[in-house]
Amino acid sequence: MCGFVGFTNAIDNSNRVLGEMMDKIVHRGPDSEGRYIDEQIAMGFRRLSIIDITDSGDQPIFNEDKSMVLMFNGEIYNYRSIREELIGKGHKFTTNTDSEVLLHGYEEYGEKLLDKLRGMFAFIIWNKNTGELFGARDFFGIKPFYYADMGGTFMFGSEIKSFLPHPAFVKELNTAALENYLTFQYSPTNETFFKNVYKLLPAHYFRYKDGKLDIKRYWDICFNENNEPDMDKWVELISETFKDSVEAHKIADVEVGSFLSSGVDSSYVASVANVDKTFTVGFGEDERYNEIGWAKEFSKFIGKENISKVITPEEYWNSISKIQYHMDEPLADPSCIALYFVCNKASEYVKVVLSGEGADEIFGGYNVYKEPLGAKGYKALPKFIRKGIGAAASHLPAKRGVNFLVRNGKELEERFIGNAYMFTPRDRKNLLKIKTDAPDPTVITAPFYEKVKGKDQITKMQYLDLHLWMTGDILLKADKMSMANSLELRVPFLDKEVMALAQQIPWKYRVSTENTKLAMRKAALRAAPEKTANKKKLGFPVPIRVWLREDKYYGIVKDMFRSDAAEKFFNTDLLIKLLDDHKAEKSDNSRKIWTVFIFLKWYGVYFEGQEI
């Protein structure tokens, strides 16, 4: 695992500037560095040695006549078979790395190489003869890729912060991203919180030449139910396919560990992978926030050592600024900080860990996916009646019964934007002092719903989450928190072959009114005890709701809500009311409070120079 950064239109002091940019991502690759500079481009690389850990694996990597230059972040799990194929076609390899396969593969197949790959990746190839840059990002967006075109300079890299030292970079807040974030809890489009800085979206590649950028999609998820296999057959197919994926994801020349909670996803990974160690974190002794006991019991069951850490409230709160620095963009998911600590603990023992991200989106694991199957009596009412009731209920204080009426008065495409829905468009407009050109959330989700038009509601929800929630929240924090600790995190559920199987499973084998991930849970039963395989989803629980009612942390947030930055962007009287109502237990506003608080912490780090 590594990181890269670069820019075109090389400046007079390009070597010094490139060095400063590389220093910003040294955490992604502390083992070694590499550079390539010519009259037109400067490219820098930081390496974390995983495969071919000798110096021969260092980047940049060149083709035979040195006309092409590669920098790559990720792992290609089927590189050996592609390598043999390329050798058969006459290509000469100088290393044993998966990186070099990308370079020769691109020479041989062009962008069609991407169809052959199995892995996680973001890479860039510079063709000196044609003056063209080619860049690509993996199928699911496991690895990040950012770019910006400023002052005649095209910048690209693994993290936005690496652009900051470049003299052409203009640091400006993208206020539209802020308004979108208030609803989604992350930035849901290709735009970032830095104006004119963009994300290359998952399963896309680009070509850049003579100042022109051409971006294309090369792969997409295609749900197409196959009703022939029964449940038992699907369970068998999942077991076989997932075992194969785990074996592929274990390829490394260093020790591999695994994260472990009390849930089925990480337990399934840990049991199948046969790793040496598992890693777990929790808070206090309350089982709602501490899964260490579960994890230790399960680790004993599979005969592995579990290494754990209890995170204190002080550690958690004191780390927030540092973590927002590493995130590049604000993310209001409280679990990202817990993820930082489990990555930090694992990095003391291993360089690579396996984790369970992606299982919920692929196999239908979120409890909200059960919603289309419930309340059939109420849904039998005519649509216009439910819509009227929902419209009236929307003016009442939010609580469980009211929320039910509001949601069931809307079509799925109106009400579901993913696993998080913080502030409604009306509420965020009231909260913000500033005016932005942010679109309505449904404008952002509409293109994805159009792709699965005619599918069942569960499939529509999964498709949306696979493209927005998973990329914008789940995988963003997985990459940034692991790399902040120089740790490679691999996700065997997010495998092209696993997805090819999962997208054929009928919804009735994914979700019922009683449970989620039905077929996958049965597959997990073959490797994990029943109480783990059938355990209800807990997530990565963090006691934010409890802390915000304690005087100490209430005070910290209140001070932030009265700060100059808060006054600049928000109607602070509304912020204080959210906080006071939460402390008085009039309502649970914890996630909304946290969304604004995290933005202000991030803004303080990147725009006010606050220490991390």
Judge whether 30 and 22 are in contact, CB under 8 Å.
no
* Catalytic residue numbers, as ranges: 2
Neighbours of 222 (CB within 10 A): 12
Judge whether 44 and 22 are in contact, CB under 8 Å.
yes
10: Cβ contacts below 8 Å, ≥ 6 apart: 37, 38, 39, 40, 41, 42
Rounded CA separation 109/116 (Å): 10
φ/ψ (deg, to 5) at 17: -65, -45
Q: Which residue has the tokens 């991030």?
A: 602
Rounded CA separation 123/353 (Å): 22
Task: Specify the long-range contacts of residues 255-258, CB closer than 8 Å, at least 24 apart.
Answer: 255/349, 255/350, 255/351, 255/352, 256/350, 256/352, 256/353, 256/354, 257/346, 257/349, 257/350, 257/352, 257/353, 257/354, 258/353, 258/354, 258/355
Instruction: Please give the structure tokens belonging to residue 266.
Output: 């990480």
Instruction: Please give the structure tokens belonging to residue 120.
Output: 């996680």
Tell me the β-bridge partners of 68: 127
Tell me the β-bridge partners of 124: 71, 135
Neighbours of 223 (CB within 10 A): 21
Q: Which residue has the tokens 């990002």?
A: 137
State the number of CA atoms in the 13 A half-sphere of 55 facing the CB.
1
- State yes or no: cis peptide before 60, omega within 30 of 0: yes
Judge whether 99 and 72 are in contact, CB under 8 Å.
yes
Positive or negative, the Cα torsion across 426, 428, 430, 436? negative
Query: What is the distance between the terminal CA atoms of the chain, rounded to a whole angstrom?
Result: 24
Rounded CA separation 397/594 (Å): 19
Q: H/E element holding 316? A: helix 313-318
Q: H/E element holding 236? A: helix 231-249
Q: Which residue has the tokens 């995190």?
A: 489
Classify 141 in phi/psi space as left (phi over 0), alpha (psi -120 to 50) or beta. left
Judge whether 360 and 501 are in contact, CB under 8 Å.
no
Percent helix, strand and coil across the chain, each to the nearest 5: 45, 15, 40
DSSP string, 406-456: HHTTS-HHHH-SSS---S-HHHHHHHBSS---PPPHHHHHHHHHHHTTTS-
Cα–Cα–Cα angle for 505, 507, 510, nearest 5°?
Answer: 75
